[in-house]
């Protein structure tokens, strides 16, 4: 028998106004796991999340939480098991951060919603979890975006859910607050074994925090897998239609397309010395060739996305005759040679020879 997941969907179809947008969505998630939806804008990440949180009705299929179809659960029961952090900005009037967090206790309070001592303690604990105890009495509209997102996370936490759904929680945040927010989330998942489903635009962050990823594109789920399976150059380029530019799987970042045209500059590089220079040449719009790089050189990994042409040698091998001859002929076609490389050893002895040849031909220019 197949393993029973804490949260899963069966042939879920989502969309607006009865028009299906994405069909046959399968999600399987255990407690203490983070599932991230990635994909281009407008692909339907929010639609999927809204369907899970029942803001939108399902157009087909079923969502199960703890083995039970969510359709059969009451609003109150769902409220005690599932909390949300939404994208829409809210501007409540005259509510302190504590008041906002306290709304998370709604499913637990009585008819008039008066907080008991236990509720208050939980509100305080939630504020402490997101490192925002000091903000309790501040007006919610007066705190920064980063603080606001943390308060909304605290609100979700004090709802004591088993599943938290977050729709692009880091969109308005700067780098520091993005990291801080996701760190809190990750820690909470680890300690309290909460299941988390969220959508993110930041691929680098998605790669670092997710246990599973769902690529949303077109009318089906394009791919589903672990970060190792998803973050390959091919998958990401296909997901975002990166005809221009590329995704560098080794560095986990996207690159602009290499400058096209006849190369004017030859860069003798290796051991990471070339990367800053590659980027500068790209910014300045100068097409360049680089070499001779062993395939395991960090410069080689970057150069494949940035250089018009890369002259390579097999990994762990000293530079051979063939590559050297090719490089030399290319140097002669270039107007300038740059050499950020300072160290030469057994494996790249030939690069030193290239440097001397360039010097002799008067092609070598200094870095500036």
Partner 1 sequence: MPQTSQNTPLSQTPAESASGGRSLRCGLSFVLLSVLLAFLFVWNVNSGSVDLSVREIAEILLWRRGDETAVNIIWQIRLPRILAAMILGGALSVSGFLLQTFFHNPIAGPFVLGISSGAKLVVALSMIFLLGRGITASSAVMVLSAFFGSMISMGFVLAVSRKVRQMSMLVICGVMISYICSAVTDFVVTFADDSNIVNLHNWSLGSFSGTTWGNVAVMSVIVFSAALLVFLLSKPIGAYQLGEDYARNLGVNVRLFRVGLILLSSVLSACVTAFAGPVSFVGIAVPHLARNIWKTSKPILIVPACFLGGAVFCLFCDLIARTVFAPTELSISSVTAVFGAPVVILIMIRRRRAM
Which residue of 136, 197, 215, 236 would you call a contact of partner 1, by CB under 8 A? 136
User: Does residue 57 touch partner 1 according to CB under 8 A?
Assistant: no
User: Does residue 79 touch partner 1 according to CB under 8 A?
Assistant: yes
CA angle at residue 201 from 237 to 274, to 5 degrees?
Answer: 55
Distance of closest approach, residue 81 Cβ to partner 1, in angstroms: 11
**Residues 86-105, mask of contacts with partner 1 (x by CB under 8 A):** x-x-xxxxxx--xxx--xx-
Rounded to an integer, what distance in angstroms lies between the CA atom of residue 219 and that of residue 238? 15
User: Does residue 112 touch partner 1 according to CB under 8 A?
Assistant: yes
Rounded to an integer, what distance in angstroms lies between the CA atom of residue 92 and that of residue 95? 6
Under a CB-based contact definition with an 8 Å cutoff, are residues 195 and 29 in contact? yes
Under a CB-based contact definition with an 8 Å cutoff, are residues 255 and 248 in contact? yes
Residue matched to tokens 């004017």:
264
Tell how far CA 70 is from the center of its chain. 29
User: Does residue 363 touch partner 1 according to CB under 8 A?
Assistant: no
Rounded to an integer, what distance in angstroms lies between the CA atom of residue 256 and that of residue 246? 6
Distance of closest approach, residue 191 Cβ to partner 1, in angstroms: 21
User: Does residue 124 touch partner 1 according to CB under 8 A?
Assistant: yes
Distances (CA, A) of 351 to 126, 271, 280, 288, 299: 59, 12, 22, 17, 14
**Residues 29-48, mask of contacts with partner 1 (x by CB under 8 A):** --------------------
Which residue of 84, 153, 213, 289 would you call a contact of partner 1, by CB under 8 A? 84
Rounded to an integer, what distance in angstroms lies between the CA atom of residue 265 and that of residue 353? 18
User: Does residue 162 touch partner 1 according to CB under 8 A?
Assistant: no
User: Does residue 131 touch partner 1 according to CB under 8 A?
Assistant: no
**Candidates 132-140, 197-205, 213-221, 286-294; binding stretch for partner 1 (CB under 8 A):** 132-140
Residue matched to tokens 């393993």:
3
Cβ proximity to partner 1, 24 vs 77, nearer residue: 77
Q: Which residues of 13-50 are buried (b: 16+ CB within 10 A; e: fewer)?
A: bbbeeeeebbbebebbbbbbbbbbbbbeeebbbbbbbb
Cβ proximity to partner 1, 78 vs 242, nearer residue: 78
Rounded to an integer, what distance in angstroms lies between the CA atom of residue 70 and that of residue 76? 12
Distance of closest approach, residue 98 Cβ to partner 1, in angstroms: 7
Which residue of 32, 40, 60, 78 would you call a contact of partner 1, by CB under 8 A? 78
Side-chain half-sphere of 88: how many Cα atoms within 13 Å?
6
Which residue of 47, 82, 248, 351 would you call a contact of partner 1, by CB under 8 A? 82
Cβ proximity to partner 1, 90 vs 325, nearer residue: 90
Rounded to an integer, what distance in angstroms lies between the CA atom of residue 106 and that of residue 76? 9
Rounded to an integer, what distance in angstroms lies between the CA atom of residue 342 and that of residue 140? 55
User: Does residue 72 touch partner 1 according to CB under 8 A?
Assistant: no
Which residues within the stretch 300-359 sit at the binding site for partner 1 (CB under 8 A)?
none
Cβ proximity to partner 1, 133 vs 254, nearer residue: 133
User: Does residue 109 touch partner 1 according to CB under 8 A?
Assistant: yes
**Candidates 28-36, 53-61, 286-294, 295-303; binding stretch for partner 1 (CB under 8 A):** 53-61
Cβ proximity to partner 1, 147 vs 235, nearer residue: 147
Rounded to an integer, what distance in angstroms lies between the CA atom of residue 24 and that of residue 14? 9
Distance of closest approach, residue 260 Cβ to partner 1, in angstroms: 45
Among candidate residues 324, 333, 332, 329, the one with its CA nearest the CA of residue 352: 324
Q: Which two tokens stand for residue 306?
A: 């940035």
Under a CB-based contact definition with an 8 Å cutoff, are residues 332 and 358 in contact? no
Which residue of 36, 149, 159, 282 would you call a contact of partner 1, by CB under 8 A? 159
Cβ proximity to partner 1, 103 vs 233, nearer residue: 103
- Which residues of the chain form contacts with partner 1 (CB under 8 A)? 53-55, 74-79, 82-84, 86, 88, 90-95, 98-100, 103-104, 106-107, 109, 111-114, 124, 133, 136-137, 141, 159
């Amino acid at each position: 028998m197949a393993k029973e997941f804490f949260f899963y969907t069966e042939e879920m179809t989502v969309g607006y106004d009865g028009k299906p947008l994405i069909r046959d969505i399968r999600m399987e998630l255990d407690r203490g796991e983070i599932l991230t939806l990635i994909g281009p804008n407008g692909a339907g990440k929010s639609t999927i999340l809204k369907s899970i949180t029942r803001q939108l009705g399902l157009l087909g299929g079923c969502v199960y939480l703890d083995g039970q179809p969510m359709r059969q659960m009451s609003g109150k029961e769902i409220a005690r098991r599932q909390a949300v952090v939404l994208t829409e900005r809210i501007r409540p009037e005259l509510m302190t951060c504590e008041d906002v967090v306290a709304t998370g206790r709604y499913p637990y309070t009585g008819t008039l919603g008066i907080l008991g001592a236990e509720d208050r303690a939980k509100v305080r604990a939630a504020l402490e979890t997101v490192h925002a105890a000091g903000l309790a009495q501040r007006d919610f509209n007066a705190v920064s975006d980063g603080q606001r997102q943390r308060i909304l996370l605290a609100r979700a936490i004090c709802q004591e859910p088993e599943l938290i759904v977050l729709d692009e929680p880091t969109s308005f945040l700067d780098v520091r607050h993005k990291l801080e927010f996701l760190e809190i989330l990750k820690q909470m998942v680890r300690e309290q074994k909460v299941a988390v489903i969220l959508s993110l635009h930041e691929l680098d962050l998605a790669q670092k925090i997710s246990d599973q990823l769902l690529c949303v594109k077109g009318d089906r789920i394009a791919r589903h897998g672990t970060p190792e399976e998803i973050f390959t150059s091919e998958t990401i380029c296909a997901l975002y239609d990166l005809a221009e530019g590329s995704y560098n799987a080794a560095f986990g970042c996207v690159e602009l397309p290499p400058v096209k045209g006849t190369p004017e500059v030859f860069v003798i590089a290796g051991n990471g010395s070339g990367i800053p220079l590659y980027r500068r040449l790209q910014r300045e719009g100068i097409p360049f060739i680089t070499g001779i790089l062993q395939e395991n050189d960090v410069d080689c990994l970057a150069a494949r996305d940035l250089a018009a042409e890369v002259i390579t040698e097999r990994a762990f091998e000293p530079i051979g005759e063939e590559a050297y001859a090719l490089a030399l002929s290319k140097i002669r076609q270039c107007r300038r040679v740059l050499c950020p490389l300072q160290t030469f050893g057994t494996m790249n002895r030939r690069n030193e020879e290239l440097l001397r040849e360039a010097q002799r031909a008067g092609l070598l220019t200094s870095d500036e």
